[in-house]
Structure 1
Amino acid sequence: MRRAAVGSCPASKRSTLSLDDHAVGVGRARAQVSDVGRQDDPNARVGLHVDFWTVDDPDEARRLLAMGADGIMTEQLRRVATRGAIVAAMVRLTRRRFTVGAVAMASGACGGARAGEPWSEEPPPSRVDPGFMPAPPAPPSPDPRLAFAPVARDAAPPRSIWSWTTAEQATEIRRDEVLFTRESSPTLGRGHLFDVLDARAADGDPAAARLAGVELAKGRFGWSNPWATVRGATPGETYGLELLHIEMRPDTWFARVRTSHEAIAFVDSAGNAVDRGAALDSFERVGGILFEHDVEYTGACATTGSGGGGLIYREIYVGNEARLATFSHRTAAILARLEGDIAELSAFRDWLRYGGGDGWSAYSWSCIAAQLWRSAPSTSRERYLASLAFATDPYAPYAASVDAIVTELKKASFFTPDDPFTHAP
């Protein structure tokens, strides 16, 4: 049994709420009772606000709260009851039922019991007004099998690449009609990719030396969909909310670089291997780099967290403007893409919120995501993870995280395509 102080009353008149959370296991429950209307009116109504959330580890819960993600895996139930009534409610969360046992509002200036006084676990039938009893929650909808766009590790390089930038840089790009203007970000540096390449070049790898050299020095990072990078790689990071659409020429080659593999490979636009020697001899055909900062996993993902490898992510670096077919900003096609992503992610968020998924813990989902990058996803949640660029907290497969992605996309889509920009180098 867990007892939680509730209410917005002065400390001397706060109520005590008994919550039966044995069904929650390692989960947590909280509730708040707030008064609406006049306390001296016997017919006044009060609002019952019940929040549930479940996280496998208390430290993880505190970390999420510090990030402002206390809504993770959360259901909220708001009902009204007559003053003096005792309300029992059921909330469905990740296919479980949690009971709010005996929330009572008794007489008093704040409509609650005296501090420290528990309420009875069983609501007296004579005190309950059936007209205000909450209806049972709707069962979770079936998996809608949302498409997303899974990206397998060995898939052919995408021709369409999406890259976020600031309003200032977007203005410069439109004015100068040049996409690549900088060798590094003033806040994020050149990127870990180039640390990896520099280290391998120092060890005598000619492919790494060429990729880290002047020919691809100026470039831009992106991904095969816009939403998977809109919140940055880590909490608080941002790249801007101006979306650029880059189309690559169909005869472009890419290098594949993985931190877990020393060998650098080259592929054509269909994903077929290109001989390293041929790629270095015809380096002008290389448009960029497919980079994966990965860890090889063994066994199950139950408690491995990030697998001991730190940040797990992948990205596309484009640095050869001669290999670009077009790049564009604020076009009707960009707006349509944002609106489509908003619709699909909103449906996914709602499915998660009302009972979808299987409750992967915060300690395992990033591991599962990395495994799905080299396998065939089936469910909507698996396809979501297989579409990610960053297996990091801002993209956790929970309703609150997905809702935050939708919020950022809505901000980015707040434009009308009446001044579109497209340039073909």
Structure 2
Amino acid sequence: MNDDELREGLVGLLAERGRLHSPQWRETVLATPRHEFLRGGFFRHVPDSMPTAWAPVMPDHPDWLSACYTDESLITQIAGTIVPADVRGQILREPTSSSTLPSLVVRMLEDLQVEDGARVLEIGTGTGYSTALLCHRLGEDLVTSVEVDADVSARAAAALGAVGFVPNLVAADGLAGHKDGAPYNRVIATCGVLRIPREWINQTVPGGIVLATLCGWMHSSELVRLTVHDDGSASGPFLGGRVSFMLARPHHPPAPGMLPDTSVGDSRETEVGANALDDWTTRFVAQIAAPNAQRLQLGEAGDVLLDVEAGAWALLYRVGDTWRVRQGGPARLWDDIEKHITQWQGAGAPGLDRFGLTVTPGGEHRFWLDTPECPLPAAG
């Protein structure tokens, strides 16, 4: 099939999956050739590899064009600098940039609730595909996109130019937004963040929307849509669906370093075991309680939760059928997590689509259930 037929097939698939609703975005996806943003190739996961290996797929590969129109995320950069053309064979490093699966791109663009004439700030240009969709829908003069990696930004600029768009592309730290182009009616982030930057809110007009994925170092995340208020605060619901993005590079966790001496510290039984953290929503609740904690799974030795900067830790381990926790450092990590999880379970273990967030003018993050008048416990 040619790319026009493949695009039609992708549009049909997205509509069938309930990700594409509006006629404006349908027309936009039909008109935007995703393959033009993947001319540099992509990396494909090597089946059954352990640890995960990646192999390049270049435009001369017989599967390249059809793969560009699958509803999949396609990895375009490894280890911060390596692109598909750099590799012969396989590579075992971690992905650092990708072309997000189209169903998530379109879902987020519809969740952004743009209107004609809206000025949009996009955080994370990536390949430029979602930037092109915004340009087609709104016009390139209304789109600003910020990318932390100058090489990635340059490749996106070339691809956007090839399809006829010249938006305002900025190579800089997107966590700072782009003050020179403010104010914006909409801000959309295609990377995960630990906290919503105040700059995004400050650069958005009252009544405008900030759409971003809030993440944590225990690897749970969710999409939140905040409406900016006159007093400088912003609030809104989490939208559900287990949305996940690569973390913004400045928000990567610190290296755990040497593990603490877990033979010391206070020990007690706990009704909530480490296996509770295998659940996505439970981990999100745990992250609210301990936003700077990482989880290290040590097999039969148990699980260690570690707040590197605070020096606090908790070891969870089994004794027969009983879970025990040993904690050390200046704070009791598991006490806080257990309290939050227990209260959440007592409320019926609601899904994340019932959670919400308020960011105060001072930058404090306050989580709530159903309405801001029903706050969840704060961290600590």
TM range (shorter): under 0.3
Taking structure 2 as the reference length, the TM-score comes to 0.24
**Structure whose CA Rg is larger:** 1
Higher RCO (CA 8 Å, separation ≥ 6 residues): 1
